[in-house]
Chains A and B, each alone.
Chain A
Amino acid sequence: MAPSAALPKPGGGLSWNWLGVAPFLVFATVFLVLPTSYLMVGAFQDPAGHFTLNNLRGLFDDNVINAYWISFRISAASAIGGGVIGFLLAWAAVQGQLPAWIRPTLMTFSGVASNFAGVPLAFAFLATLGRVGLVTTLMRKYLGFDLYSTGFSILSFTGLTLTYLYFQIPLMVLIVSPALEGLKREWREACDCLGGSSFHYWRYIALPVLWPSIMGAMLLLFANAFGAVATAYALTGSSLNIVPILLYAQIRGDVLHNPNLGYALALGMVVITGLSNAGYIWLRSKSEKGRT
């Protein structure tokens, strides 16, 4: 190592250049790649270190598969809800011919709100829709309607989805706005000139152009919700059995009574978030190709 580093430029050019990114690569290996790989490998081993598929089989135990299923539903619901609402908001701001100040305001706010996640977000929704939250109280007082008598609870599937939307919608706005900006005004005019209605415009022009961006963004939202721990933990404690919470409990105190099953749980999470991110990247390259 040392002699090659000391070589003059012509001979050792390559190794010199590699040296420039070495600190970064070492850091990424030690603090990102190795820890994750350790778990991924451990998922295929028994406690003695022998290869096994039993841990993966363990993922299909009722308790674990249930957690995956609830996580999947919450992530999908918040991704689809966030995707649709975020798209409508972005469309309104970009294409809706509203006053000019709306758009920068929405973008700035989205930047803030998409980062306002974690524990404080849970507090905000408890103060809004919790049992003594403002909206709950006002509805009871003025509309005579008890939200909680309908079976609603902020600590439930619906409540958590509603809370996740608070960072999912703005994220969607931020991701999909550039694609909406790419819609040319002439397309709409051409459609109008040919006697097409709004429906025709959306059905045959806008949506075919936009769908890869929309789908891709939703996959990203899905992965985003799937890995989130803090909001759910602060909101529901451990009462809601979702994968990140289960994994949290497993790390804290081996609730599954099998460390290697914990690794498999982590592997499952990485596979799911990895696949949705891969889908996002694939769809994004597709939409970029379509635009040129």
Chain B
Amino acid sequence: MKPASQSTSRLGAWIAIGVGASYFLIPLLATFEFSLRMLRGEYSFEAYRVVFTDPLFQATFGYSIMMAVITIIVGVLLVVPTAYWVQLRLPKLRPLVEFITLLPLVIPAIVIVFGYLRIFNSSSWIPLTGNERATDFLLVCSYVTLSLPYMYRSIDTGLRAIDVRTLTEAAEVLGANTFTILFKVIFPNVRSAILSGAFLTFAVVIGEFTMASLLSRPAFGPYLQLVGANKAYEPSALAVMAFMLTWASMGLIQVFGRNAKNATKP
């Protein structure tokens, strides 16, 4: 009785995994196959060549990478001190800070950017949409906001894993000020948490569409949409590349996470 029920449950498990795997792999295969079809009658990487040589691709991709890097820097500088301070001095504020960092998952991005367009428009007190640099700044802020949930959770987990209080006290005894403690003691100790937050942010920001499109910035997301509306094979090539980028980001998180685990083990 028992072995029979177990083997049926194992069969069920295999079926579930099999169906799941095909649902996830077929679109990837199909996209890849489609991306090779640009030249009639043969498979080639022509679509990729066309994409890579498109100056607009280079410009928008470069722009989005730059935005992602700035977002990560600003995000880390904003979140690490906050999470550190909350853990060390203001544990009572933790629920509030956690709640705020989760808000971007609750409030849809399109609503947030709609609000930006209303309160930062060119006739407002803070006319950030007035010129391009200021709008870039606004875009970075919007991305920092979007990435808050990932950044905060990752860094907070990292900080919980180390003994913040002892480290801080040790550094204070040695005469370090808060600034030194933060940058010379805390940052190095949560490096892998920062990196995993950073890669997650990168994956979220690099192809982001809603914010960039509504703020009218020449980012990769709106470019993708434009190509999708006008071309046949290039979108598939771009989708394959986007998927590989996401893979790479997630893979790197795993690599750094594993290294961190090994490093803390004696």
A142 to B17: give the CA distance in the assembly, Å. Answer: 25
Chain A residue numbers with a CB within 8 Å of B243 are 112, 116, 120, 124
Write the chain B residue with the least CB distance to A220: B105
The one of B16, B145, B203, B229 in contact with A237, judged by C-beta atoms closer than 8 angstroms, is B229
Inter-subunit contact A24/B97 (CB<8 Å):
yes
Write the chain A residue with the least CB distance to B241: A120
Chain A residue numbers with a CB within 8 Å of B249 are 115
B64 part of interface (Cβ distance < 8 Å): no
The one of A18, A38, A237 in contact with B115, judged by C-beta atoms closer than 8 angstroms, is A38
Chain A residue numbers with a CB within 8 Å of B24 are 109, 113, 166, 169-170
A123 part of interface (Cβ distance < 8 Å): yes
What 1/0 mask marks residues of chain A from 228 to 271 whose CB sits below 8 Å from any chain B CB?
A: 11100110010000001001100110000000001000100110
B144 part of interface (Cβ distance < 8 Å): yes
What 1/0 mask marks residues of chain A from 24 to 44 whose CB sits below 8 Å from any chain B CB?
A: 110110111111111100100
B224 part of interface (Cβ distance < 8 Å): yes
Chain B residue numbers with a CB within 8 Å of A92 are 12-14, 16-17, 20
Inter-subunit contact B111/A96 (CB<8 Å):
no
Inter-subunit contact A97/B225 (CB<8 Å):
no
Chain B residue numbers with a CB within 8 Å of A121 are 239
Q: Point out which of A116, A192, A226, A237 has the most chain B C-beta atoms below 10 A from its C-beta.
A: A116
A234 to B224: give the CA distance in the assembly, Å. Answer: 9
Chain B residue numbers with a CB within 8 Å of A127 are 27, 30-31, 33-35, 235-236, 239
Write the chain B residue with the least CB distance to A121: B239
CB distance from B264 to the nearest CB of A (A): 20
Chain B residue numbers with a CB within 8 Å of A32 are 100, 103-104, 107, 112, 145
- The total of interchain contacts (Cβ-Cβ below 8 angstroms) comes to 254
Chain B residue numbers with a CB within 8 Å of A21 are 82, 85-86, 90, 93, 97
Chain B residue numbers with a CB within 8 Å of A170 are 24
A238 to B86: give the CA distance in the assembly, Å. Answer: 45
CB distance from A159 to the nearest CB of B (A): 12
Which B residues from 135 to 186 make CB contacts under 8 A with A? 141-142, 144-145, 148
Chain A residue numbers with a CB within 8 Å of B107 are 32, 36, 227, 270, 273-274
A68 part of interface (Cβ distance < 8 Å): no
Chain A residue numbers with a CB within 8 Å of B254 are 108
The one of A42, A93, A112 in contact with B17, judged by C-beta atoms closer than 8 angstroms, is A93
Q: Which secondary structure dominates where chain B touches chain A?
A: helix
A126 to B122: give the CA distance in the assembly, Å. Answer: 39
A50 to B166: give the CA distance in the assembly, Å. Answer: 56
CB distance from A180 to the nearest CB of B (A): 12
Which B residues from 64 to 120 make CB contacts under 8 A with A? 78-79, 81-82, 85-86, 89-90, 93, 97, 100, 102-119
CB distance from B156 to the nearest CB of A (A): 13
Inter-subunit contact B108/A244 (CB<8 Å):
yes
Chain A residue numbers with a CB within 8 Å of B108 are 226-229, 244, 269-270, 273
What 1/0 mask marks residues of chain B from 29 to 62 whose CB sits below 8 Å from any chain A CB?
A: 1110111000000000000000000000000000
- If A31-B145, A34-B119 touch, does A248 touch B239 (CB 8 Å cutoff)? no
CB distance from A74 to the nearest CB of B (A): 14
Q: Point out which of A38, A118, A197 has the most chain B C-beta atoms below 10 A from its C-beta.
A: A118
Chain A residue numbers with a CB within 8 Å of B23 are 85, 165-166, 169
Inter-subunit contact B118/A39 (CB<8 Å):
yes
A156 to B27: give the CA distance in the assembly, Å. Answer: 18
Chain A residue numbers with a CB within 8 Å of B198 are none
A165 to B86: give the CA distance in the assembly, Å. Answer: 37
A93 to B21: give the CA distance in the assembly, Å. Answer: 12
Q: Point out which of B5, B30, B203 has the most chain A C-beta atoms below 10 A from its C-beta.
A: B30
Write the chain A residue with the least CB distance to B116: A35
Chain A residue numbers with a CB within 8 Å of B116 are 31, 35
The one of A24, A85, A126, A252 in contact with B82, judged by C-beta atoms closer than 8 angstroms, is A24
Inter-subunit contact A233/B209 (CB<8 Å):
yes
Inter-subunit contact A17/B89 (CB<8 Å):
yes
| A-B CB contact pairs (8 Å), 28 listed | A20-B89, A21-B93, A27-B78, A28-B145, A31-B142, A32-B100, A32-B104, A92-B13, A92-B20, A93-B17, A96-B13, A96-B17, A97-B6, A98-B13, A106-B17, A119-B207, A119-B242, A124-B30, A127-B235, A128-B31, A166-B27, A169-B20, A227-B111, A233-B225, A234-B209, A234-B224, A251-B114, A273-B107
Which A-B residue pairs are the 9 nearest by beta carbons? A35-B115, A96-B13, A227-B108, A134-B30, A20-B85, A92-B13, A120-B242, A230-B209, A127-B34
User: Which residues in B have some Cβ–Cβ distance to A below 8 Å?
Assistant: 2, 5-6, 9-10, 12-14, 16-17, 20, 23-24, 26-31, 33-35, 78-79, 81-82, 85-86, 89-90, 93, 97, 100, 102-119, 141-142, 144-145, 148, 200, 203-204, 207-210, 214, 221, 224-225, 228-229, 235-236, 238-239, 242-243, 246-247, 249-251, 253-254
